[in-house]
Amino acid sequence: MSYLLLLPELLLISLALVIVLLGLMISDRSKNLLGYLSAGGLLASIVFILAIKGEGSFFYDAFVVDPLSQIFKLIFAVVSLLAVIASVTYFKGSRNQDEYYALLLLATVGMMVVASANDLVALFVGFELASMATYVLAGFEKRNPASLEAALKYFVIGSLSSALMLFGMSLVYGITGYTSIPGIIEFFTTNPQAATGAINIVAMLFLVAGFAFKMALVPFHMWAPDTYEGSPTVVSALLAAGSKKMGFVAAFKVLVLALVAMRADIQLAFAVLAVVTMTYGNIVAISQRSIKRMLAYSSIAQAGYISLAFVAITPEMSQMAIGGGILLALGHALMKGGAFIAVAVVGYMVLSDNRNVKNTDDLEHFAGLGKRAPITAFAMLVFLLALAGIPPSAGFIGKFVIFYSITVDAVIQASGWMLFIVIVAILNSALSIYYYARVIRYMYVLPPAGERIKEPTPYVVAIVLALIGTIGIGVYPEPFIQMAMDAAKVLGV
Amino acid sequence: MADLYSYLLVAIIIFTIGSYGIITQRSGIKILMCIELLLNAANINLVAFSSFNGSATGQVFALFSIAIAAAEAAIGFAILIALFRIRDTINLDNINILRW
């Protein structure tokens, strides 16, 4: 048990505090440096996550480091890194940059704590740290009514969901007498008769509702499109690509006890949630003119695919499906983060044409993007195709593993409804190509509305990093599949 | 001394009032108050279970959650004040720029 394993979190916490202090001392003009400083810190933290091998548990088993926590920490750190690099341009010249970067780093730490939490108390505290930092980030443009409205909606729904989650946790504590996750599992395995009580279903309902708000599953999704549309675009990238995955890792961790306690019910419930979520997300995305809103609905649809990971029943296939879910979560983080940053570039382009445009993310601004900003347009093309699940891309690998494991499971179980779910999911993927292709048509077929622009270097760096990740996972998936399967093994379903 | 069920009943009543308020109220401040009610209902549960289980974990959890609720309220009021400055209202019915 070596405290080196805590280095990624400790580094980010101390960096956040140092940035707040530095912000008091340096002049407003040199605050851009803080962005590079946070990018450096996140990069170091990614290196630590990858380089320091080993497992351990800390603070009376409240905090564990294992393959599951490491892969999710990698996702969170990479997404924050992309968001920070893009923010260097997005918030250039703002005099509140110190608070911005400190909050962004603290949000990342909160997500990492959730990934490592082995106790409901630690899970709740980490969840709240990440949520509160992101409430403020969503409303960071405090002169922009849309940004504040996004923050208010996110805050009200987010704190409602934490209250539901806390109530669920209090019931779980009441039933079992433990707050630690292994303790709860042990209670249910030693007292099988306790697992059948009606109160368990109530507790589970509260927990699922609390997590589903974060994951933005239908019918708990109302806040997501508004928040993603109104927030600063780089923050939308963090919310869609990072903080959504926090809901998934918490659900993976806590719902293991549900899977132990009452196998069949939760799977059926998640199957219904997943199918409704992906269908609703894809159908509503079709009618959107605002690209940020379209990406928000597409990210709701992706959450539907990822939550198929809870559906498989046989142990091997269930493990594989969860591995696939983690893989898709990793891919989605890169694709969606990259796509939102590409939208930020378009916003930059539109504003440099005309300062007074209100809807910088409207579809019409994408006309002729292939000529105006070739790197962004090409990257956006790849991200959209990857979101639709076209090989070779990260989106394809994740979807393939999930659909494959559910299909095999359906054959083993001889269960018609599971096969039906896979068919619905594949039809949904086909449907989603329609609205992604529309953006591609605008970018490459329609004539451009202005001259070619010079894309700012930080944006290009962030986009190219996401692009390399998206294609890299698609072309050479073995190490990532291995990582995801190791992570799924920890859950030991 | 009252039994466990009376405490849980109080918690559930408070929780119901809170959820009812969130659905029906339109003022930002009242919604914040209702969220506090929901969190405190969970705290009553935790402390009641803790006392009847004879373990202190629940009380520690309740302390954490009280601290978090305070931070959450601070952020909520900050967002409401920022909104009031530019919109002159915190009535949620009027806050509707973003819609599909």
Predicted local distance difference test score (pLDDT) of residue B100:
54
The answer to the question of residue A213 being in a domain is no
In this complex, the residue of A148, A163, A179 whose CB is nearest that of residue B38 is A163
Contact A266, A255 (CB under 8 A): yes
Per-residue pLDDT of chain B (100 residues; tens, 9 = 90+): 578 889 999 999 999 999 999 999 888 899 999 999 999 999 999 999 999 888 889 999 999 999 999 999 999 999 999 999 988 888 888 777 777 5
Question: What is the phi/psi pair of residue A117, to 5°?
Answer: -65, 140
- pLDDT-based confidence at residue A1 (cuts at 50, 70, 90): low
How many structural domains compose chain B? 1
Check whether A449 has a pLDDT greater than 60. yes
The answer to the question of residue A232 being in a domain is no
CA distance A184 to A29: 53
The answer to the question of residue B89 being in a domain is yes
How many structural domains compose chain A? 1
The answer to the question of residue A357 being in a domain is yes
The answer to the question of residue A463 being in a domain is yes
Contact B59, B47 (CB under 8 A): yes
The answer to the question of residue B88 being in a domain is yes
Name the residue of chain B whose CA is nearest to A222's CA.
B99
Report pLDDT digits (tens) over A250-281: 988 887 766 666 555 677 888 888 999 999 99
The answer to the question of residue B100 being in a domain is no
H or E element, residue A56: strand A56-58
* Interface mutation target, options A123, A155, A162, A170, chain B, most CBs of B under 10 Å: A170
* Stretch A355-381: mean pLDDT: 87
H or E element, residue A63: strand A63-65
The answer to the question of residue A121 being in a domain is no
The answer to the question of residue A119 being in a domain is no
The answer to the question of residue B61 being in a domain is yes
| Domain region containing B12 | 4-93
Those residues whose C-beta lies under 8 Å from the C-beta of residue A395, and which sit 6 or more positions away, are: A328, A331, A332, A335, A386, A387, A388, A389, A470, A474
- Measured over the CA atoms of residue A393, residue A77, residue A117 and residue A483, the dihedral's sign is positive
| B43 contact residues in A (CB cutoff 8 A) | 170
Q: How high is the ipTM of this complex?
A: 0.95
The answer to the question of residue B98 being in a domain is no
The answer to the question of residue B99 being in a domain is no
The answer to the question of residue A379 being in a domain is yes
Here the CATH number for the domain that contains residue B25 is 1.10.287.3510
Question: Apex CA A291: angle with CA A216 and CA A90, to 5°?
Answer: 95
From the CA of B95, how many Å to the nearest CA of chain A? 7
CA distance A245 to A134: 14
Contact A121, A113 (CB under 8 A): no
CA distance A73 to A341: 21
Predicted local distance difference test score (pLDDT) of residue A411:
87
Report pLDDT digits (tens) over A56-113: 888 888 899 988 899 999 999 999 999 999 999 888 888 888 999 999 999 999 999 9
The answer to the question of residue B71 being in a domain is yes
Report pLDDT digits (tens) over A142-168: 888 889 999 999 999 999 999 999 999
CA distance A48 to A8: 6
- Percent above pLDDT 70 for chain A: 97
The answer to the question of residue A288 being in a domain is yes
| Domain region containing A344 | 263-493
| B87 contact residues in A (CB cutoff 8 A) | 145, 148
Report pLDDT digits (tens) over A302-324: 999 998 888 887 778 888 888 99
To which residue do tokens 């912000």 refer?
A: A23
Predicted local distance difference test score (pLDDT) of residue A91:
86
List beta partners, residue A418: none
- pLDDT-based confidence at residue A14 (cuts at 50, 70, 90): very high
